[in-house]
Amino acid sequence: MPQIILEHINKRFDKFVAVDDLNLVIEDRGFVTLLGPSGCGKTTTLRMIAGLETPTSGRILIDGKPVYDSEKGINLPPNKRDIGFLFQNYALWPHMTVYQNIAFGLEMLKWDKKRIQERVQEMLKLLKIEQFVKRYPAELSGGQQQRVAIARTLAPSPRVLFMDEPLSNLDAKLRGEMRTELKRLHTDTNSTFVYVTHDQLEAMTLSTRVCLMETGVLQQYAPPLEIYNRPANTFVAGFVGNPTMNFIPARVLSRRQNGLELSFLGREALFETANAGEVGEDAILGVRPEFLPISPNGALEAAIYSTLPAGMETTVKASCGDTMLTSVVFGSVDYEVDSRVRMDIVGSDIMLFDKATQKAAASGRVVFPG
Amino acid sequence: MKDTRQDLRREPLYFRAKAFFSKPANLILLFFLAVLAALSLAPMVTMLTNMFKVHAGTERKLLRLKVGSLTLNHFEMLFRDYEWGKANFWIPLFNSLIVACGAGLLGILIGGTVAWFVTRSDLKCKKFISAVFVFPYMMPAWTLALFWTNMFQNSKVGGGVVGMVESLLGVCMPEWFVFGLFPMIVVIGLHYSPFAYLLIGGILKNMDATLEESATILKASRFTIIRRVTVPIIMPAVLSTFLLIFSSGFASYTVPVFLGSATRTFTLSTKMRALIQAGYEGQGYIIAFISILLGTLILGINQYFTGKRKSFTTVTGKSGQVSLVRLKRANWPISALLIFLTLFFAIMPLVSFALESVIRQPGNYSLSNMTLNFWIGTEASQFETGMPSGILINSTMWAGLARQVGLALAVSMVVGTCGMLIGYACVRRRGSFLSRAVENLAFFPYLMPAMAFGTIYLAVATSGGFKWMYGSFFLLGLVAGVKFLPFASRSGVNSMMQISPEIEEAATIFGVPWVTRMARILFPIQKSAIISGYLLPVINVMREVALFTLLVPYPRYLLTTMLFSFNETGYSQYGSAVTLLIIMIIIGINSLVNKLTGASFDKGIGG
Amino acid sequence: MKRFLALMLSLLMVCSMVLAASAESVQDALEAASKMTDEELYAKAKEEIAKGAQLNFYSTTSFAEKAAANFMKAYPELDGKVIYAEIDDGETYTKLTNQIGSGVKDSPDMALVQNGPDLKVNLLEDELSFNYFPESLMDVVPEKYQEPTVVTFINSLMIYNNKEGSVGVTNVWQLVEEPWKGRVFFKDPTNETVNLNFLIMLTSPEWTEKLTKAYEAYYGKAWESKEFASASYQWIDGFLKNVNYTFTSASKIATGIASGAAGNMGVFVFSKLRKVADEDRPNLTVLQFENDVDCFSGFMYNIYATVCSDTDCPYTCALFINWLLSEGGFAGEKSWNSSQGYYSPNTTIEKPEGLEDESYMYWADKLVFEDLDYIDGLGAAYADIYRFINVRVSK
């Protein structure tokens, strides 16, 4: 079964380090997302696994078989790796019709004409593009091109499918639809998906595991909810989630049996945790906006800065001292600017980061005295 | 709701006219429509009437009719007299077609292959190859022809003069290799292969690499990808490159003169010249007219193909990092072969011309036979060697050089500016009738064989109210300007296509006047492409012969016509020296402009 | 509008009158000039120059430049006023017919041209140019070279590469035989009218007879053919089949044969031997100097002087033509007579010693002379002969 293993993968373009000592195991039938801001090395990683790019050093195994090994000098070309690749701009061949585009890969496999025809029909039906079979790519809309590209990639039934930001050229509505389709396809095709995106929502909603990268370094590799709830560092915490997590500067006053005594926003409170890791005197308290509700009896006092109602929920920004806090409130509420409100920190998924290393030190709940 | 289009239609004519004329693009188009119609259609009319007229010389002698009277005799001779027509039309036509096709295919094959290696593989010495590979295009085409005969003539063919290959290697090439259709194809094909290299290379460079990568992943082999993906995608560009080379090869005059005279291999253009020279001007014009018809047909074919729905002249896309094909063990042999080829066709001619210009007696390359007399000597007698002194201390040469450079600069200023304006106006009004008319008219002179063009302008300049032009610098400039406008307007259109109208509109909103918009916004953005548009006419004028031979007041008026007469009359050392000088000047101008502005003539072609 | 038209019409009339008047006066002036002495002409010429005229002339022979320089030395007040411009044979009549009477700046006042039939038909018959010949020289120049005026004869000779000894040609019919295939060098007659005229001359009764006799002498049987109209046509056909056109100019033929393969032969302008490098010169032999050839060993053509009908200095032209026909002009320093292969129609001028050349009289019965009257008199038959040659030249 195709399991993909990356061991100590490095990639340098001249002096620029694109990927730095990356280790990754992509499980069979997983839907793994490579997530990160532009230039973080995620596309390069994908292209290296596919064989379109050669790593500078390291080892890549697909299905237990080394496809790249810098020490042994192994480097299989892409066509020997049994994969599919969906490009960001679809890379449809402009001189071929939809049919010819989809059939191309099957012809390369030396299928007979009849089988090709059947398979193409099947793909056309699967992606609901039967009516465009005789058109040229230039005569299709973005979404239709996208479907043709997927059909072309899926036609030879690759066991691993690589996708490089396939939805970024689509408008918001189509993107939403295609997400659903992709997730469905993943189950239907029974294959491994590796997906590159810079859209954290896409990563969260689609994948079984997210690999978050920054400047060529792996930040965290975990299932989406773990990424969300237990971010490994402030970068991951800040990148994932919308609106962004609140980072509140805090001082560690003392360590207790059941947690840490903290001082922040002019208040002192107990950070109750069972797993306190290393943390210096300076720390950062990470609070998701949904754990910062506005409540009349809240421990913190803040002044409303602005209110952004979106119908289903409302994002409220309020300043507490010098710190701007973001809160998400269910339903549509409107606060007068500069009016004073009280806020609370609730739940047990509050993060504590060490300020010096920016790494997560603990997760737990904040208990205000009294 | 009101239909705004209805409103527009009901607007009084006055307002519509005002709106029309308030756009500079429209004014420019109207202006050029008028000027180009006069400059390229008027000669056409002259040519058409000349097909039915009796001319001085042989025609007058044969027909015993007054000069200028009407006759159908030219057509009758050419098309009703089988033996005459075969010798003077059909065989030359056949030869022209073979040469044009062969040169087109060879040019594409060589240029395309090199372009692929340079843009798509990890070939060694790419920089060197791509810099030197374009040299043959900067040299006058016939210098390569001259080089070819210098290299390969031998004691068994032609006059039995020993060339370099025989004297160094002792190999005698057969006649078909030295003279006739084969070397014509090779020389013209080589001359235009940089053209193919630049056009195809440009597309390969801009072509989204994922188009090929996606085929790789679908398990297509390298060869299959080239055959099924790369080639079809660049096909429209290849086809139009082929057609451009085809029509250039078809109209080529100087190369067939050098390589065909020995074996009496006429092409349509050498035949046209021969007929005109022998006094059969009417038939010469008929041939010129047919050449133009063929050229138009080719242009039509080109437009038909590039207009088809699956074509895509601009293949754009965010191309990621292009992964280069690893040539592995084949790398060094292929690099070495390409370096050898570029050296042979780009550097060797220079070396050979340098050598030929310092030997006293042709064919003898020993040190004792060498002299700098032809460069700086003073004792040479005019009647024995054609020049009173070596070319570097010779006032005739310097005067010719000064005129040529002056002509090149003047033509470049006018043509480059016109090309840019036409480009601007055509792109802004794209799709309108005016725009299409001007673009096609500006391209039209390309189809006229230079020889015919010169002849027609000679006729124009000696008739009616244009006599003041005859033999003047202005006439040369005018003819060169019209003839080289197609390249400049192409490059103008290409460079303006890259600028979106919003960029200009943003300035329009601030109330920036048109001239300022052009000078401060559009020009700086496309600076290097536009300067390349200016550079191209310079190079064209610096190496042009056929266009000027009939129009110069005397053969030594310009450097190139002087050179051509040197070579025709056999002063080969002076000829080689001047050739070398011209090539060095062209390369010098190109690299100087390149250094100063980043522009280069090849960018003008590549667009 | 009407007034404008009237103005244009009257302008046109004035112009044509001026043109007509000037044409008349050039002819008159030349008539008058032919009776004047050189001193009288010089005085007249000075008047013309004083009025701002200068003598621009075209020439197909470059020695004319030296002759003009010598002329200005002899007549110092004309210094700098006689301007030479070279012209290619092929474009001579296109340029002249277009320029004469066009009023274009610096248009020629006279020209030294080759190819008499073209001169006659294109210029003289249409009165675009006039002939001038001085009465003073009528006794020393044969009458047939007075109208139109010949200033020099030029010969093209059979010359071969002797590196492997003599080619042993004694009869022109040898040249149409197989061994000579590709070994006779000759300029394309459809491009070089004097070469064309040479071949046309062979069809004249005189040369047809000579060629027929030479045929009988060579083959030992009477000439007979269904294919060709005469022995001349057969010879032309055979000759053109053997011709090699590798070298496109007389100079190239000269140097090419000298440095090329042994046994090659060219029919080219004798004077071009001066272009051959000293080291190669011994390789060449002039066939005629080795043995007589049955029935010719080359041909002779003429350079004519003609005065353009719109000249503003007819007397200066007349004086210049007198000069060209005189010892000072023809045999002056570095002028025609200093080279092989140029002969003056003035019978008092002899070739100097030590030139490896002979007099005009020596060549008179050994070469095919261009006869203007024969070629011009061919009429419609010219087209047929031309066609016969043309289709044999192209491949």
pLDDT band at B602 (very low <50, low <70, confident <90, very high): low
Establish if B388 touches chain C: CB-CB under 8 angstroms.
no
Of the candidates B87, B91, B155, which has its C-beta nearest C390's C-beta? B87
Q: What is the tally of helices (H) and strands (E) in chain C? A: 15, 12
Pair (C179, C276) in one structural domain: yes
pLDDT tens digits, one per residue of B210-251: 788 888 888 888 888 888 888 887 777 788 788 888 888 888
Which residue numbers in chain A have pLDDT < 50? none
Determine whether the interchain pair C91/B265 forms a contact, defined as Cβ–Cβ distance below 8 Å.
no
- CB atoms A13 and B321 under 8 Å: yes
pLDDT of residue C241: 92
pLDDT band at B441 (very low <50, low <70, confident <90, very high): confident
The pLDDT assigned to C382 comes to 86
Residues C306 and C293 in one domain: no
The domain boundary, picked from A237, A253, A280, lies at: A237
Q: Please report residues of A whose CB lies closer than 8 A to that of B233.
A: 93-95
d(CA C83, CA B450): 30
Tell me the CATH number for domain B23-43+394-607: 1.10.3720.10
Q: Which residues of B lie closer than 8 Å to A, measured between beta carbons?
A: 208, 210-211, 213-221, 224, 228-229, 232-233, 235, 309-312, 315, 317-318, 320-321, 323
Question: What distance in Å separates the CA atoms of residue A273 and residue A363, rounded to the nearest whole number?
Answer: 6
Convert A331-342 to b/e letters by CB count within 10 Å (16 or more is b).
eeeebeeeeebe
The answer to whether residues A135 and A46 belong to one domain is yes
| B82-121: burial string, b at 16+ Cβ within 10 Å, e else | eebbebbbebbbebbbbbbbbbbebbbebbbbbbbbbbbb
| Average pLDDT estimate for B362-371 | 71
Q: What is residue B315's predicted lDDT score, i.e. its pLDDT? A: 38
3-state secondary structure chain A: CCCEEEEEEEEEECCEEEEEEEEEEECCCCEEEEECCCCCCHHHHHHHHHCCCCCCEEEEEECCEEEEECCCCEECCHHHCCEEEECCCCCCCCCCCHHHHHHHHHHHCCCCHHHHHHHHHHHHHHCCCHHHCCCCHHHCCHHHHHHHHHHHHHCCCCCEEEEECCCCCCCHHHHHHHHHHHHHHHHHHCCEEEEEECCHHHHHHHCCEEEEEECCEEEEEECHHHHHHCCCEHHHHHHCCCCCCEEEEEEEEEEECCEEEEEECCEEEEEECCCCCCCCCEEEEEECHHHCCECCCCCEEEEEEEEEECCCEEEEEEEECCEEEEEEEECCCCCCCCCEEEECCCCCCEEEEECCCCEEEEEEEEECCC
Total domains in chain C come to 2
The residue from A237, A258, A285 where one domain ends is A237
CA angle B549, B565, C60 (to 5 degrees): 90
In a domain, C16, yes or no: no
A197 and A319: one domain? no
Residues C184 and C282 occupy one common structural domain: yes
Question: What average pLDDT score do residues B528-550 get?
Answer: 82
Q: Examine the domain organization and report whether C275 and C216 are in the same domain.
A: yes
CATH number for position A330: 2.40.50.140
Using the beta-carbon criterion (under 8 Å), do C275 and B64 form an inter-chain contact? no
Regarding whether A43 and A110 lie in a shared domain, the answer is yes
B&C contacts, CB < 8 Å: 168
* Mean pLDDT of the residues in chain B: 80
Q: What is the CATH number of the domain that holds A81?
A: 3.40.50.300
Higher per-residue confidence, C354 vs B406: B406
More confident residue, B409 or B2: B409
User: What is the distance between the alpha carbons of residues A193 and A266, in angstroms, rounded to a whole number?
Assistant: 48
- The Cα B430–Cα B426 span in angstroms is 5
- One domain, residues C38 and C137: yes
- List the subunits that have 3+ CB pairs under 8 angstroms with C: B
Fold of B105-262+309-315+328-356: MetI-like fold (1.10.3720)
Q: Is residue C295 domain-shared with residue C316, that is, in the same domain?
A: no
* Chain B residues near residue A50 by CB distance under 8 angstroms: 217
Residue type, B549: T
Chain B nearest-CA distance from A44, in A, is 9
pLDDT digits (tens, 9 = 90+) for B345-366: 888 888 888 888 887 766 667 7
pLDDT band, very low/low/confident/very high, at B311 (cuts 50, 70, 90): very low
Taking the whole predicted model, whether its pTM rises above 0.90 is answered as: no
Residue B601: what pLDDT? 63
Contact B312 A94 (CB under 8 A): yes
Closest CA to C180 of C167, C164, C161: C167
* Radius of gyration (C-alpha) of chain C in whole angstroms: 23
Higher-pLDDT residue of C106, B606: C106
Tens of pLDDT, residues B42-78: 778 888 888 898 887 777 777 777 777 888 888 988 8
Got the DSSP string for B138-150?
HS-HHHHHHHHHH
Q: Which residue, among C269, C270, C63, C68, has the nearest Cα to B383 in the 3D structure? A: C63
Instruction: Residue B39: name the closest of B482, B537, B548, B550 by CA.
Output: B482
What pLDDT score was predicted for residue B338? 87
- Kindly state whether residues C245 and C374 are assigned to the same domain: yes
- When mean pLDDT is compared over B112-116, B274-278, B600-604, the highest value belongs to B112-116
Residues of chain C under the 70 pLDDT cut = 1-24, 103-105, 395
C93/C209 same-domain check: no
In a domain, C321, yes or no: yes
Residue B570 pLDDT: 65
B268 in Cβ contact with B250 (< 8 Å): yes
Are residues C52 and C69 part of one domain?
Answer: yes
**pLDDT beyond 70 at B306:** no
Q: A214 and A263 share a domain?
A: no
Residue C1 lies in a domain: no
Task: Report pLDDT for B11.
Answer: 61
Q: Within this chain, do residues C137 and C213 fall inside the same structural domain, yes or no?
A: no
| Number of domain units in chain A | 2
Q: Do chains C and A touch (3 or more CB pairs under 8 A)?
A: no
Which structural domain, as residue segments, surrounds residue A198?
A: 4-237
pLDDT at B64: 75
Separation in Å, CA of C37 to nearest CA in chain B: 32
Q: How far A93 CA sits from the closest chain B CA (Å)?
A: 6
- Residue of A47, A94, A153 with shortest CB distance to B315: A94
B437 inside 8 A of chain C by CB = no
d(CA A83, CA A81): 6
Q: Is the dihedral of CA B345, B346, B347, B351 positive or negative?
A: positive
Closest partner CB to B362 (pick from C190, C255, C394): C255
What is the domain extent for residue C338?
Answer: 27-152+302-356
For residue B143, name the pLDDT band (cuts at 50, 70, 90). Answer: confident
> Is the Cβ pair B257, C248 closer than 8 Å?
yes
Q: Which of B55, B83, B161, B460 best probes binding to C when mutated, by most C CB atoms within 10 angstroms? A: B161
Q: Does the distance separating the beta carbons of C102 and B467 come in below 8 Å?
A: yes
Determine which of B36-45, B296-305, B583-592, C70-79 has the lowest per-residue pLDDT on average. Answer: B296-305
Task: Summarize pLDDT for B453-482 with one digit per residue, the tens.
Answer: 787 787 777 666 676 777 788 889 998 998
Instruction: Name all chains with 3 or more CB-CB pairs below 8 Å to chain B.
Output: A, C
B56 to chain C: which residues are within 8 Å by CB?
A: 93-94, 97, 122
SS3 for B175?
A: helix
pLDDT digits (tens, 9 = 90+) for C309-323: 989 999 999 999 999
Is residue C257 one of the residues assigned to a domain? yes
Check whether residue A267 and residue A362 sit in a common domain: yes
* Amino acid B317: pLDDT: 40
- Two tokens, residue B180: 């006739």
A220 touches B at CB < 8 Å: no
Task: Name the residue in chain B with its Cα closest to that of A87.
Answer: B210
ipTM of the complex: 0.73
- Given A237, A254, A281, the domain boundary residue is A237
A260: amino acid identity, one letter: L
Q: How far apart are CA B244 and CA B356, in angstroms?
A: 33
Give me the residue from C103, C191, C395 closest to B274, CB to CB: C191
C-beta separation of B118 from B129 below 8 A:
yes
Residues of chain B with CATH 1.10.3720.10: 23-43+394-607, 105-262+309-315+328-356
Confidence grade of residue B320 (pLDDT, cut at 50, 70, 90)? very low
Averaged pLDDT score across all residues of chain C: 88
Is the domain of A120 the same as that of A152? yes
The Cα B521–Cα B518 span in angstroms is: 6
pLDDT value for A83:
85
